[in-house]
Structure 1
Amino acid sequence: MRKIARDILDTIGNTPLVHLSRFFGKEHVYAKLESANPAGSMKDRTSHLIVSELLRNGNVMEGGTIVESSSGNMAVGLAQACRFYGLKLKVVVDVNLNKQTHKLLTTYGADVIMVNEPLPDGGFLAARLKKVNELLDTIPGSIWSNQYGNPNNPKAYFAVMEEITNSLSQNLDYLFVATSTCGSLMGCANYIEQNELNTKLIAVDANGSVLFGGRPEKRKIPGHGASVPSQFLDISKIHDVIHVTDLDCIQGCRDLLNKEAILSGGSSGGIVSAYQRYSQRLPEKSTSVLLLPDSGERYLDTVYNDNWVKHIIGNRNFKRDNYQPIKLQNGILGTAI
C-alpha cells in the first residue's frame, strides 16, 4: 500500500522502473521513468534538494528571490519548489525553450527572462549565465541556485541509484545517463564508487557539446549537452561516452513510443538511440538501465511534430510518423574513453 504523501514535494522519487521487453525482447533493459516526478522530470530531485537546503541554511528566506539559468526541466522543477516554499523565481532561458515549458513556467508564477543571442564563446549557456549575474547584481537579496556548481545537484541522484539497485538487487551492469550539467551523471558515478558497485556508467552526450572535448555546434534538442565545460565532470569515473545527433533523439523518442507506448522527451530519445547502437558491445545477459529524464508532453510541437522535424532538423529519409534507422560508419556511434 502506498503511503499518504505529506505534500506534493514528498512525492518526488520512487519513480517506476520499466522492463522494455517489447522494444528489446529478452534483453535485460529497463527504463527509469523520471517523468513520474510531480513536475515531470528528474530535475525535480535537484530542485527540491537545492531549494530546501538554501532555506535550511538561511541562504534564502520566504519571499526571497532565486535566480537560475535553464534549458527547461530545471526551471520547471524550481518553479514548483519556489511556489511551494513561497519564493520568487527569475529563470533565464533561451530561444530553444519549447512553448509548453514556457507555459508551465508562467503558470507556476516564474518570471521568464529570454536570451535571444548566443555569445561567441560559450553559446547560449554562456549568454544565460551572463544574464544571471546581471540579475543578481540588480535584485537585492537574490541568490543563484547554481545547478552548474551546487554540490546538492549530484547529491540528489544518490536516491536514484538506491532505487535502481534496490529494485534490481544490485544486479546492474550498465547505466546510460544523459549529460548537461553532469550533476545526474556524476551523482550516479559517485554512488557507484562509494558503494563499490561493478556498474559501468555510459554517458550520452549531444553532438556539438563540449563536455568531452568536442567542438561547439548548434543543437535544437534542449536538455542535454553543453556549450561550456562541466564543473562536476570527472571522466575517470565514466566507462564510455556516446554522442547522439538531434535526429537520433527524435528517432529514439518515436521508436520508444511505437514499441512501448512511452512518450519520452528529447534527451530520453537520445539515450534510447545510444543504447541501440551500443548494445552490440555488451556481454550477453547483461542488465542495463536507461535513465530517462522526462516525458514527451513538452516536445509535442518539436520532436513529435513532423513539419518541425522536416524544416528545423531536416532528413532525406524522413517519412511521416516514421524514421528509418541511420546507418553509421563502421556501425559505431560515439567514442570510447
Structure 2
Amino acid sequence: MPVVTGAHELLDTEVFVDLSGPLGVNLHLKCEGLNFAGSVKIRSATWMVAAAERSGLIGPDTTLVESSSGNLGVAMAVVAAARNLRFHCVTDAKCNPSTIRLMRALGATVEVVEEPAAHGGLLAARKARVRALCARSSGYLWLNQYENEASWLAHYHHTGPGLAKEFGALDVLFVGVGTGGTLTGCARYFRDHHPGVRLIAVDAEGSVNFGGRPGPRRIPGLGAAEPMPLVDAGLVDEVLRVPEADTVRMCRRLAARGLLLGGSSGTVVSAARTWLAAEDPDRALTAVAIAPDLGERYLDTVYDDDWVTRHFGAAAAAPLTRELRA
C-alpha cells in the first residue's frame, strides 16, 4: 500500500481509461489529474522546487513566485503548502475562478493581471509582473516554468518511463503543449529509448507554439501567446491544432460518460480521436493520450451552458447523453 507523508509526494496513480467504447478508436487515456494538485503539473512543480532546494536557492525568507494560467499555479501551491514555503502566483483574467479560489485556499497569494501587454498579451503581462516582484525584493524566487529544465526532466525520468513500462508496444503518443515541459520530457525519453514511437503534439488553435497564427483563446491550459523556449518542433512527428469549440464538445461528450475532464484533456482527446479515426480505421495501433487535468475547475466555463453558448454557440452546449447511449 503506497503511503505518502506530504501532498507533493503523490505524483502518479497509474490509471488509464480505455476509450475504445465511447469514442470508437483504439485509445488509452493516461489520467494525470488523480493527485492533490489535480493535474500533470504536480510533477514539474515538485521537480523545480526540489532542484532549487538542492542548489541552495530556497531559504527561510524565500517566497516562490510564478506566472501561471492555472494548473501549474495550483501545483506550486500544493508543493509550497506541503513544504511550508510561501508562494505568490501571478495569473490573469482568463484563469478559472475556482482555480483562483483553490490556490488561495492552499495558502497562496494570488495576483490577477487584467490588462494584456502590447506585445505578448496576458502571458507577457504576467511575466513582466513577476520580474517586477523579483526586482523589488531579493526574497522572491522565480523558478520560471517556461525555461526551467527541471520542468521537462520530471517527465523524462518519470512520465516517459512509466508509459513505456505499461505499454511496451506503444505506437503513438499524443501530448498536449502549453509550456512544453510534458511534451519535451516525454519526446526526449522516447527518442532516446524507444525511437519507433510516433510523437504527436496537440496545440490549441490560436497558439503560436509551432508557428501558428495567433488568435483568441478562452480556455486556459494548452497553447501560448508567444513561443515557449522548451518547445522543440524537431522532437515531434506531427502537430495537431484543435479549435476550442471542439475542445468543449469533447469535454462534454466524455462527461456524459462520467469522465469529467479539464479543457487541456478535452483538447488532447479531440485531436487523438480525429487522427486515429483517419489513420487507424482498423484499430491496429496502440495509442495513448496524456490527459493533463480533471474538470472540476471548468464548471464555470466549459461545463456552464451559458458560458459555452455565449462563446461557441448553442450547438456546442447541447447535451450529448442521448447520443452516447444509443
Structure 1 length-normalised TM: 0.91
Contact 1:210 1:225 in 2 (8 A): yes
Q: Is residue 65 from structure 1 mapped to residue 56 from structure 2 by the alignment?
A: no
Stretches of 4+ aligned residues off by more than 4 angstroms: none
Q: 1:96 to 1:5 in 2, by over 3 A?
A: same
Equivalents in 2 of 1:323, 1:309: separation in Å?
17
Q: 3-state DSSP class of the match of 1:157?
A: helix
From 239, 257, 262, give the equivalent of 2:259: 262
2:293 maps to what in 1?
A: 294
Q: Tell me how far 1:323 sits from its aligned partner.
A: 10
Distance 2:46 2:299 in 1: 26
SS in structure 2 opposite 1:226?
Answer: coil
Question: Is 1:23 the equivalent of 2:22?
Answer: yes
Corresponding residue number in structure 1 for 2:302? 303
Flag the 1:8–1:183 CA change in 2: closer, same or farther, 3 A. same
Whether the aligned pair in 1 keeps the contact of 2:27 and 2:288 (CA below 8 Å) is yes
* Letter of the structure 1 residue corresponding to residue 297 of structure 2: R
**1:316 Cα offset (Å):** 5.3
1:205 alignment partner in structure 2 = 203
TM-superposition CA deviations, 1:206-226 (whole Å, max 9, x none) = 111111112221110000100
Q: State the aligned residue count.
A: 320
Counterpart of 1:83? 81
Q: Report the alpha carbon displacement of residue 196 of structure 1 after superposing the two structures with TM.
A: 3.2
Show the counterpart of 1:335. none
C-alpha contact 1:71 1:93 (8 A) present in aligned 2: yes
**How far is 1:320 from its partner?**
3.4
* Partner residue in 2 for 1:176: 174
Could you tell me whether the CA contact under 8 Å between 2:89 and 2:109 is conserved in 1?
A: yes
Contact 1:175 1:201 in 2 (8 A): yes
Whole-angstrom CA distance in 2 between matches of 1:97 and 1:232: 22
Do the aligned residues in 2 keep the contact of 1:252 with 1:271 (CA within 8 Å)? no
Give how far 1:144 is off: 0.5
Shift in Å, 1:107: 0.6
Among 25, 33, 36, the residue aligned to 2:34:
36
Partner of 1:13: 12
8 Å Cα contact 2:248-2:316 kept in structure 1? no
Alignment partner, residue 4 of structure 1: 3
Q: For residues 261 and 202 of structure 2, what CA distance do their matches in structure 1 show?
A: 16
Residue identity matched to 2:260: L
Q: Given the superposition, is the C-alpha separation of residues 276 and 324 from structure 1 closer, same or farther in structure 2, using an over 3 Å criterion? A: farther
> Residue 247 of structure 2: which of 246, 249, 262 is its match?
249
Q: Residue type matched to 1:293 in 2?
A: P
Report if aligned partners of 2:45, 2:79 keep a CA contact under 8 Å in 1.
Answer: yes
How far, CA to CA, are the matches of 1:209 and 1:48 in structure 2? Answer: 27
Equivalent residue, structure 1, for 2:119? 121
In structure 1, distance between residues paired with 2:51 and 2:81? 16
Aligned-CA RMSD value: 1.8
Shift of 1:197: 3.2
Tell me the residue number matched to 2:152. Answer: 154
SS of the residue corresponding to residue 28 of structure 1 reads: coil
Question: Whole-Å Cα distance in 1 between the matches of residues 102 and 235 of structure 2?
Answer: 36
The aligned amino acid for 2:214 is: P
Query: What is the CA-CA distance between 1:82 and the residue it aligns to?
Result: 0.9
Q: Which runs of 5+ in 1 are unaligned?
A: 326-337
Deviation string for 1:306-328 (max 9, x for gaps)? Answer: 011111x1325345324999xxx
In structure 1, how many angstroms separate the alpha carbons of the residues matched to 2:252 and 2:313? 15
Amino acid at match of 1:121: H
Aligned to 1:218: 216
Could you tell me whether the CA contact under 8 Å between 1:15 and 1:37 is conserved in 2?
no
* Amino acid in structure 2 at the alignment position of 1:200: R
- Checking the alignment, whether the CA contact within 8 Å between 1:15 and 1:36 is kept in structure 2 is no
In structure 2, the partner of 1:131 is: 129
Deviation at 1:305, TM superposition (A): 0.5
- Asked if structure 2 preserves the Cα contact closer than 8 Å seen for 1:317 and 1:324, the reply is no
SS in 2 for 1:36: coil
Percent sequence identity over matched residues?
A: 37
Is 1:111 aligned to 2:96, yes or no?
Answer: no
Structure 2 Cα separation of the partners of residues 270 and 35 of structure 1: 15
Letter in 2 for 1:298: R
C-alpha distance in structure 1 between counterparts of 2:317 and 2:64, whole Å? 44
Contact 1:251/1:323 (<8 A) preserved: no
Q: In structure 1, what residue type is equivalent to 2:57? A: N
2:248, 2:263 within 8 Å by CA — same for their partners in 1?
Answer: yes
* Match in the other structure for 1:328: none
Taking structure 1 as reference, are residues 23 and 70 closer, same or farther at Cα in structure 2, changes over 3 Å only?
same
TM-score by length of 2: 0.94
